[in-house]
Amino acid sequence: MSVEIISEHVNPLLGRKDAKLIVHHEGSGTPDRLAVRKIASDHFKTHQDKVYVRSVRTRTGGSSAVCQVEVYSDSKLADTMVPAYIKNRNLPKGQRVSRKKGAEDEKPAAAAPKPAAAEKKAEPAKPAPAPAKESKPSPAKESKPTPAETKPPAKPEAKPVAKPSAKSDAKPKA
């Protein structure tokens, strides 16, 4: 595999070097992030803890990958600046943390302490009381709506328009 640097930008504010490089990988598949990280650390002559690969892209059927790499001046600075998901991606597969596992899921279920209430003998559950039936007023007791409530809102009166009759002058068709 060979490396070609496309662009390199020193970012003194963040204490890193942003680089875009092409890794030529003829005859083999796209290199994984660990391989690109090793190649970049060898090229920039720095330790792998200071190098983080942001992306690796290969066009379909291509034999070269375009990679975006960040090379930090200090590994402690890199730990504070690099997001956790990027750090996770740059780890070997066996050391990565799964997104599905949370802090609660990592603990085994058997080792979890039981609450004091659960240790006591469980009492049989009492059935919940039935909800009281709602009484509906009978139709005879309902109050009748007032005339104001039954009338539709007043509409402005429309004046009838006289239409001339066109058929009165027409002759019947034979």
| pLDDT value for 72 | 93
HSE of 103, CA atoms in CB hemisphere, 13 A: 0
pTM of structure: 0.54
**Using 50, 70 and 90 to split pLDDT, how confident is the model at 95?**
confident
Torsion of CA 103, 107, 109, 113, to 10 degrees: -100
| pLDDT value for 172 | 61
Give me 17's structure tokens.
């070097």
HSE of 169, CA atoms in CB hemisphere, 13 A: 3
Query: Of the ranges 87-96, 124-133, 164-173, which is most confident?
Result: 87-96
Q: What CATH number was assigned to the domain covering residues 2-98?
A: 3.30.70.330
- The larger pLDDT score, comparing residue 143 to residue 42, is at 42
Phi/psi for 79 (5° steps) reads -65, -35
**Using 50, 70 and 90 to split pLDDT, how confident is the model at 68?**
very high
Percent of the chain with pLDDT strictly greater than 90: 30
Using only C-alpha atoms, the chain has a radius of gyration, in whole angstroms, of 40
Percent of the chain with pLDDT strictly greater than 70: 59
Which sequence spans correspond to the domains of the chain? 2-98
pLDDT at 18 over 90: yes
Q: How far is CA 165 from CA 158, 159, 171, in A?
A: 21, 18, 13
pLDDT at 62 over 70: yes
| pLDDT value for 93 | 86
Summarize pLDDT for 24-61 with one digit per residue, the tens: 988 888 888 999 999 999 999 999 999 999 999 988 88
